Chains A and B, each alone.
Chain A
Amino acid sequence: MKEKTLADYKAMQERCCNCSYCKWIPLDKIKSNRFAYNCPANAYFKFNTYSARGRFQAGLAVANEELDYTEGMTQMVHSCLSCGACDVACKISRYNLEPLEHNIALKADVIEKGHTILAQKVMLNTLATEGTLIPNMKKADRAVWSEGLGFKDLAKEKAEVLFFPGCKYGYDKTLKETLRTTVSLLLNMEADLGVLGESEMCCGGRAWQMGFEKEFSKTADINISKIQKTGAKIIVTPCADCYHALKRLYAERGLTMEVLHVVEYIDRKVKEGRVTFTKPVNMTVTYHDPCHLGRQGAPFVPWNGTEKKIFNQIHTWEPRRPRNNGANGIYDAPRNILEAIPGIRLVEMERIREYSWCCGAGGGCGQSMPAYAEWVAGDRVAEAKSTATDALVTACPWCNGMLSKAVGKDGETMPVYDLLELVARAL
């Protein structure tokens, strides 16, 4: 596959109209001044430079060789969480710009020219040596979580469903019980379940989000080959990042298997009547949409076309280009599950669904710029608390980790749950 370079985005860079929509949630959806912002980088670092518009202008200056990368610019480029909030807001009115794609192309360019953040180097080294982006983790420990669960090893036998836990779930000891419970739950649903076991490695999605295209491609191609060989029909993952990588990025590279987030899988089973929640969980909760399950969770639709001008100057694409604008993300499945659990009352935050606020973990910033990432998570926690909820629920271990870290910072704690924990309680 030919990766695009920054120069390929020149038309978009020049056609960005400086309207500032990339800084706000869709204006029609603004409920308050406090929670009107959508771009965490712009909200935290404040200068326009950090918005998608600023990145278009910076990218143009780089492409035109008018600007060299400095340490400050490197930090600016990598501060994008790749959350895609700007992308949704821009596409409310623009049909010919791709801000998120460009933000990542800018990261790839800065990396290509040798400018990275120290923590990213550590992460990438760990990916190369241990098959994970989480520093200090060992390849040999990858499958420890699954000991004694007794499901199939897909290196040796066949199964219909490939369960792909991902690095965060696989290594994080605080999530181990939730993961094991989830697998037991899936097995109880009579899922014909298998795992890659010790041969599993990171999906690489986070590397892609950080702009490490070559490292991502290498990881993805190895994984695709392993996954295809299993002969499984469905991949199920509890991680939003893995979901995005498998469903969209791997599909672009040729993976043809159906990919489901575990909330979709459970939602299906609830609808089929195969799962019924019987135990009440008396609690008011609010749900945080993970970026890579929500607005970036739409299926991949291949496109290979070019720009075509009609009526003199109107820009269109030939053939029709898929619009990844958050319209087809996974929003309803987690909410359906919450509503199906007796005793749970769901209250919504102001920024939800396609215009949800990022948790701060995106783009690897949780590791590479921790203070910034924690501020982003803190803003989400503040938003959750403004709903007078008992708990904050999400469907991604990375979001869970960031939000849990931020939740007590103001001296007022609040439980943060993975949706699977509530599912386990309700069964």
Chain B
Amino acid sequence: MALVREIYKEFEEIVGIGNISEEPVVLETYRCVAAQSSAHYGPYDQRTPTPQAVLLPGSTEEVQKIVLLCNKHGIHFKASTTFWSAQGYIGSDNAIQLDMRRMNKIEVDAKNQLAIIEPYAIAAAIQAETMKHGMTCNIQGAGGSTSTLASTAGWQGPGPSSIFTGTNYDNMLSAEWVLPNGEILRTGSAGSGDGWFCGEGPGPSLRAIVRGVAGTAGDMGVCTKLAIKLSPWPGPTYLPSTGAPPSYKADLYENFKYYTLCFPTWEAWAEAVRMIHENRIIYIGHRQFNMFGCDMKGAMVNILSDPNKQLCDLPDLLEDEEIKKQTESMRIDVQVVIAGMTMLDMDYKEKALDEVLRMVGGWKNEMMLKPDIANWALLYLIRMGRKNLNYVYCGAYEGHFGLSRGNYFYSASLVEEASAIKREWEIKHNHMAAVGGNSSMGGLGGVGGGGGVSWEFFAHFDAHDKESIKGVCEYFNKTNQWMAQKGLGGCMGKLNESSRRPDGYNRSQEEFNKTFASTPQPEVFVYQWMVKDAFNPKKLSGSYYKTLDPKAFVEGSGAASRGVFI
């Protein structure tokens, strides 16, 4: 349904001609194809609703005026940045889409070791700008092409370097929000005009309310600017790379080293990770290349680091005895980068890492030490410039299991069982790429520690093949069941089902009520409803913030009250 002319004109006056469109092709390209999104699978022919218009605001003031106008006319709105997944798209017919690409500034405050960023500043650009000052930022797991502000304000933002740099959630300092009612809120020190250095004050410390722990995926208005904490970067002001595309390789000094650490058992793996974490040895820690599958990763690394190889080389490489041996050697592994602030520091870290390996009986994989592969991996992990390798096999993937809910001792103890479930599905059906079952990947947690790893498994499926999509959905039903049995909560493959219907539309509050009334602790969702209601009374801003209407809550109705905790 088109906007009435008067309202369209009002929006146009705010952003200017050329920054608003209701051209059919523009509207069509702001619909998320459910099966293509890493975060929202579904039948291919389902797309999110068509927006009434797409707007490109250029400033906080423009965003505020847009939101106020939406409130005046009862129009839903959703802001998004790089449109990585379904969370950023509108979910109702009566809605406009805000594309934040005109707001992309990056201001580095070197003295205070922070950067003030706007929504469309992508992680790769922020990193490049901060490296000029001897600093760097955490790059979220979704990679360098995604908005750091989006995952900082609206999600969690863990990444391979989080063990050193913190997650984006950890690094959030002051922030500026246009709340769903159009009010501008500056949290932390910026709220009292004292600069952007602190997230909690002096000034209104409402970070926990507008963002919470998990993030509200854009449901609490539009974050227009925020400051992030930066970390030391002991490398050059620009990270040089060499080689032909796509196999670029880092060209760094000796104070950077990449290793694939391997272990005889998952217990040894967990113990090593604990020691590495507690002793602050590494700069990056990520179980990265296992995302290609435990049987495939050796061959895949050979393909990706060699510009002359392709996926059709997989069968031959898998028959190569040396690659087979190396792949077997790194079945239980993790990729790490150590970075020395000085060569003395580097020497300590090298020795500490070797000692950890000695203590648990681990080793460094030989193939991954070859300069061509090591420098390729080093660049990959530092810049996160090739995260769309997630899609390399089939054009679509979905994270599932999501073993991050346990600490790494618990997660590691479940990997083989989860892998067996996936392997069985790969053999019995052809819905997903058969990669050996175990495709677990993820970081080693944030600075704060606590042992949390952000693991998930990858299921690679074909977005062009409805049977593949449908089959993977069935598989996620099974993984969800298993997760519940293990007390791990819902499977991340099902994460968005509760927020958005398979047809791409938002769920209604009635549907939320039905879902959350029977959860172990429905009171939590009632509280969230109260928070959301206070800031977003007209419910014009998204649906990912999971709430339960107090009217639908019956005292003692939660599963926990009945002694059920899964």
Chain A interfacial positions (CB closer than 8 Å to B): 10-11, 14-21, 23-24, 26-33, 36, 46-49, 53-54, 57-58, 61, 66-68, 70, 72-73, 76, 88, 91-97, 308-321, 323, 325-328, 354
Contacts and interface: CB of A to CB of B under 8 A. Distances in A.
Given A31-B238, A325-B246, A70 B128 contact: no
A32 B133 CA distance: 12
Given A20-B83, A327-B245, A36 B124 contact: yes
Please name the 9 residue pairs, one residue from A and one from B, whose CB atoms are nearest each other, closest first. Answer: A15-B395, A27-B385, A19-B388, A28-B385, A27-B144, A316-B312, A27-B124, A72-B23, A17-B391
Contact of A14 (B44, B104, B384): B44
B563 interface: no
B385 A18 contact: no
26 contacts: A10-B464, A11-B464, A17-B396, A18-B37, A20-B145, A27-B386, A29-B241, A30-B125, A33-B105, A33-B129, A47-B29, A61-B28, A67-B25, A70-B25, A73-B23, A91-B246, A92-B245, A92-B246, A92-B386, A93-B387, A310-B315, A311-B314, A311-B434, A312-B430, A314-B314, A315-B462
Nearest to A56: B29
Interface string B60-81: 0000000000000000000000
Given A28-B379, A70-B24, A94-B391, A57 B29 contact: yes
A315 B121 contact: no
A73 B24 contact: yes
A323 B464 CA distance: 22
Contact of B462 (A15, A24, A47, A318): A15
**Which of A36, A67, A308, A313 has the most C-beta atoms of chain B within 10 angstroms of its own C-beta?**
A313
B462 A33 contact: no
B311 A15 contact: no
Contact of A93 (B21, B37, B246): B246
B23 A30 contact: no
A88 to B, nearest CB: 6
Contacts of A57: 28-29, 31, 33
Contacts of B25: 49, 58, 61, 67, 70, 72-73, 76
Nearest to B80: A48
A313 B461 contact: yes
Given A14-B33, A49-B29, A92-B246, 16 more contacts: A14-B36, A17-B36, A18-B32, A18-B83, A19-B387, A26-B385, A31-B128, A36-B124, A46-B19, A46-B56, A70-B24, A72-B23, A72-B25, A312-B430, A313-B460, A318-B312
Nearest to A316: B312
Given A15-B396, A33-B128, A47 B388 contact: no
A326 B248 CA distance: 13
Contact of A32 (B54, B125, B390): B125
A266 to B, nearest CB: 24
Given A14-B36, A16-B36, A312 B311 contact: no
B213 interface: no
Contact of B128 (A23, A30, A93): A30
Interface string B370-393: 000000000100011111111111
Interface in B1-57: 18-19, 21, 23-26, 28-33, 35-38, 44, 54, 56
Contact of A314 (B82, B99, B248, B393): B393
B505 to A, nearest CB: 18
Nearest to A44: B18
**Which of A70, A309, A328 has the most C-beta atoms of chain B within 10 angstroms of its own C-beta?**
A309
B543 interface: no
A325 B395 contact: no
A290 B433 CA distance: 40
Interface string B141-153: 0011110000000
B310 interface: yes
B364 interface: no
A313 B248 contact: no
A32 to B, nearest CB: 6
A93 B391 contact: yes
B432 A312 contact: yes
A308 B18 CA distance: 43
A319 B313 CA distance: 11
Contacts of A23: 145
Nearest to B243: A327
B122 interface: yes
A314 B390 CA distance: 12
Nearest to A54: B29
A14 B29 contact: no
A326 B245 contact: yes
B26 to A, nearest CB: 5
A17 B396 CA distance: 7
Interface string B430-451: 1111110000000000000000
Interface string B298-318: 000000000100111011000
A14 B464 contact: yes
A183 to B, nearest CB: 34
Nearest to B20: A47
Contacts of A48: 29-30, 83, 99
A47 B21 contact: yes
Contacts of B430: 312-313
B454 to A, nearest CB: 20
Given A47-B26, A314-B433, A354 B393 contact: no
**Which of A10, A93, A354 has the most C-beta atoms of chain B within 10 angstroms of its own C-beta?**
A93
B102 interface: yes
Contact of B245 (A32, A54, A58, A91): A91
Given A46-B56, A313-B462, A314-B460, A36 B36 contact: no
Contact of B432 (A21, A313, A315): A313
Contacts of B420: none
Interface string B126-169: 11110000000000000111100000000000000000000000
B36 A18 contact: yes
Contacts of A30: 124-125, 127-128, 144, 385
A95 B244 contact: no
Given A92-B386, A312-B433, A313-B468, A15 B314 contact: no
Contacts of A66: 28
Contact of B314 (A11, A26, A316): A316
Given A17-B463, A24-B124, A28-B241, A67 B385 contact: no
Contacts of B388: 17, 19, 21, 92-94
Contacts of A326: 245
Contacts of A24: 122, 124, 145
A48 B80 CA distance: 11
Contacts of B85: 18
B35 to A, nearest CB: 8
A22 B391 CA distance: 14
B501 interface: no
Contacts of B36: 14-18
**Which of A24, A27, A32, A58 has the most C-beta atoms of chain B within 10 angstroms of its own C-beta?**
A27
B310 A46 contact: no
A11 to B, nearest CB: 5
Contacts of A88: 245
B453 interface: no
A354 B241 CA distance: 14
Contacts of B291: none
Nearest to A327: B244
Nearest to B468: A313
Given A24-B124, A320-B310, A325 B431 contact: no
A58 B25 CA distance: 6
A120 B7 CA distance: 36
B93 interface: no
B425 to A, nearest CB: 10
Contacts of B394: 15, 313-315
A33 B106 contact: yes
B58 to A, nearest CB: 10
B82 A32 contact: no
Contacts of B385: 26-28, 30, 92
